[in-house]
Amino acid sequence: MKRTGIGIFILVLVTAGTTAGYWWGSHQTTQAIQVPEHTDHGQQAMGQQASMKERKILYYRHPMGLSDTSPVPKKDGMGMEYTPVYEGGEPAVGGAGKISLDKVQKLGVKTERVTLRDLTRAVRAVGTIEANERLTYTITPKFDGWVERLYVNTTGEPVQRGQALLDVYSPELVATQQEYLIALTGAQAVKDADPEIQERMQELVDSALQRLDYWDISPKELRELRTERKIKRVLTFRSPVNGVVLDKPVLKGMRFMPGDMLYKIADLSTVWLIAEIFEQDLGLVRAKQQVRIGVETYPGKDFTGTLAFVYPTLNPGTRTGRVRVEIPNPDLLLKPAMYANVEIATDDGEQKVLAVPDSAVLDSGVRQIVLIERGEGLFEPREVKLGARADGYFEVLDGLREEDQVVVSANFLIDADSNMKAALGGFGGHSGHGTAPAAAADGIPPPAGMTTESSGPSSGATEHTGH
């Protein structure tokens, strides 16, 4: 029994000694691990935080670099805290970022000089070929009658000016011819009578002849009636123009009434193109501009025309406006109802404008930025005001000067580094412009290949050595 108690006592002593030794060793290891807190890096971070606390906060800016600011702390729509901007740490206007030359070559950075250019913007649209309304005619009688004979009996048939179209019979025409011949005979019978009587008889002759003329009886028919003095049972309608028969509802033997259309004839030596222009392009088109037209019927063949008229109304359904283009068509290749592609050159040729390639513009939707090369590997963001876009270029209204070198390739990659740092600073919630990212201040190392150097109020520069 005594031996058992002694064994238990010895076991307790050994266990206690082991536990004490383990505790002493763990305590020494913890102290050794905590030593790096007193390194230069830790002291520098603590010094920066103390310096930031001493400086006065001017305002708070959007964590993603937008133009929105706030005088008090707040969060954006995604819950990210606005970044404080301290006194002496305001974003410098024209702050530049630097990239090593080897990185510039790897990224494929290209620049182009800002110059004055003639911007020619091509407005493209589709349209339909139509007959020229000014050269379209309808044959409509002003009296009733019957169709006795058709000389032109098919739609699409070409006709010449003065060519016979059809013969018609009308009791009114016969009666008027009789009146004319009786008045003409009476005028000759009283040629030796009192002048007043002669004048009245001549008025009857002229009245009958004028009535026939008002009914569109051709001058040829009237001359034959005057010379031959024979009443014709039928009279002939003739074409008033060279053209093509577009419509022919008339049939042989049918009765017609005043105003009924018998023929529709159009001269297609000049045709119209009615094109639909998008609302945002209507301000670029005007009369007398040259237009290039292409139709699928003749691939590879271009037609040219002149923009003659911009219609004053807008289609509310399609948000397009109509324009009319006049096209010479001597060979009659263009036919009504053909679809056509339209290209309108909008260059007025009056003056050149300052322009940059559209690839040089970084557009956030709120503002437009271009990167200007200030030296070897040194790039400065510049906000610009843009105008019209044409030929792959933007017109620059403000923000640039002639001879500035702008980045036209890899500008998104150059800008990506600053955007990433702004995002990291926003997540930390207490990083200002020109200070180290909050992630680094919290002990989180920056992404590989990216280093940051603090810039004072006068420099505003961040060195980018990688992405």
Query: Tokens 């923009």 — which residue?
Result: 307
SS3 406: strand
Cα-based distances in Å from 335 to 152, 156, 342, 412: 20, 11, 16, 50
pTM (2 decimals)? 0.54
State the pLDDT at residue 426: 42
Per-residue pLDDT reduced to its tens digit, 131-186: 999 999 999 999 999 999 999 999 999 999 989 999 999 999 899 888 888 888 88
Supply the pLDDT for residue 440.
38
Tens digit of pLDDT per residue, the chain (467 long)? Answer: 455 556 566 665 556 555 555 555 555 444 443 434 444 444 554 555 555 556 678 778 766 555 567 888 888 776 778 778 776 554 433 444 555 556 555 566 777 788 787 777 778 899 999 999 999 999 999 999 999 999 999 999 999 998 999 999 999 989 988 888 888 888 877 777 788 887 888 888 888 888 888 887 878 788 888 888 888 888 888 898 899 999 999 999 999 999 999 999 999 999 999 999 999 888 888 888 889 999 999 998 999 999 999 999 999 999 999 999 999 999 999 999 999 999 987 765 556 778 888 777 877 777 788 888 776 667 778 888 887 777 778 788 887 887 787 887 765 555 555 544 444 444 444 333 333 333 333 333 333 333 333 333 333 333 443 33
Stretch (H or E) spanning 374: strand 368-375
Encoding tokens for residue 350? 């009056």
Predicted local confidence at residue 269, as pLDDT: 93
Amino acid 333 reads L
- Chain centroid to Cα 271, Å, comes to 27
- Residue 463 CB coordination number (10 Å): 17
Number of neighbouring beta carbons within 10 Å of residue 95: 16
Strands 462-464 and 97-99: parallel
> Under 8 Å CB-to-CB from 62, ≥6 apart: which residues?
68, 69, 76, 82, 83
Q: Report the Cα 177 to chain-centroid distance in Å.
A: 65
Could you tell me which residues are beta bridge partners of residue 127?
Answer: 275, 340
First-residue to last-residue Cα distance in the chain: 77
Q: CB atoms < 10 A from the CB of 323, how many?
A: 26
| pLDDT tens, residue by residue, 271-297 | 999 999 999 888 888 888 889 999 999
∠240-246-250 over CA atoms, to 5°?
Answer: 80
Cβ atoms of 135 and 270 closer than 8 Å: yes
